[in-house]
Structure 1
Amino acid sequence: MSHAADEIREAIAGELRLMDPGVRTSRALAGQLLDPEFIEVGASGRRWTYEEMLAALPELDGADADGPRYEPSDFTGVLLAPGLVHLTYETTHGEKRARRSSLWRKQGPNAPWQMYYHQATPFPPENT
């Protein structure tokens, strides 16, 4: 497997970990996956910072271990530069669907992959 494919696979693994209720409810675990300069534009249109997201994540959709989880599909990834991966995919959560885009970066050979930017755009179930 190529180096680019390895980096894309690692970014997807991080994305999937962020959908895990056990990670969403743990500030320490989520904090390891989010870049300190993290920004998100959520499906609601709200802009989130690193601190805002860590504080709110345990209460957001997908955090309840017994509730509905995000169901991701159609992942694609592109290595934009060494240590910078762009992912796109779709999620379903109950009746809600969203197209998602995120940037993952790794700032050094021993640094972890962290989500630097995320954006979600809702779309109706009948629209594909």
Structure 2
Amino acid sequence: MEPDLVTDKRLQGVLDELVRREPLFHRPEFGTTRADFEAMTAPDFWETGASGRRYSRAHVLEVFEERYKKPPVEDWETSDFHCPELAADLYLLTYILVLDGRRTRRATIWQRASDGWKILYHQGTVVQEAEE
């Protein structure tokens, strides 16, 4: 029933670069300020959260700007990365994220631009809620 998700060998370098950037906005080495988050997102970026709600770029930027005023201590791990090319310089990265005990499937559409990687869209889908 599960798809056979194997990244094409020619995309291994892209996969390696994008794995280092996920989970989104949880990698302080790529920045923790609003300007950093603006630089990594396309102007029309939006996201569908694990709740199913849609969030604008402005909302996401506000949330993470506020969060990094006092950086949280998070317990997370990622696995099962897969990266097909959708079009020239456009990639879909999927993976599993376990964050504070909650397991979600993640999907991010990335674009390689002249000024670096840009996030066009992101979605999280809950697979297993954290145990209380």
User: When the two structures are superposed, what TM-score results if normalisation uses the length of structure 1?
Assistant: 0.77
1:31 pairs with 30, 38, 49, which one?
A: 38
Match of 1:115 in 2: 119
Match of 2:13 in 1: 6
> Unpaired segments of 5 or more residues in structure 1?
none
Deviations 1:98-120 (CA, angstroms, capped at 9, x unpaired): 0011100124xx23111101110
CA contact (8 A) 1:24 1:57 kept: no
Aligned length: 122
Residue 24 to residue 44, structure 1, CA distance change in 2 (3 Å)? farther
> Unpaired segments of 5 or more residues in structure 2?
1-8
Distance in 2 between the 1:17 and 1:118 partners?
9
- Amino-acid identity (%): 30
Q: Which amino acid aligns with 2:119?
A: M
Q: 1:97 aligned to 2:86?
A: no
Residue 23 to residue 79, structure 1, CA distance change in 2 (3 Å)? same
CA contact (8 A) 1:19 1:69 kept: no
2:52 pairs with 45, 52, 71, which one?
A: 45
Q: Which moved more, 1:45-54 or 1:14-23?
A: 14-23
* Structure with the bigger percentage of helix: 1
Q: 1:74 aligned to 2:74?
A: no
Deviations 1:77-113 (CA, angstroms, capped at 9, x unpaired): 1112211010100111112110011100124xx2311
CA RMSD of aligned residues (A): 2.7
User: When the two structures are superposed, what TM-score results if normalisation uses the length of structure 2?
Assistant: 0.75
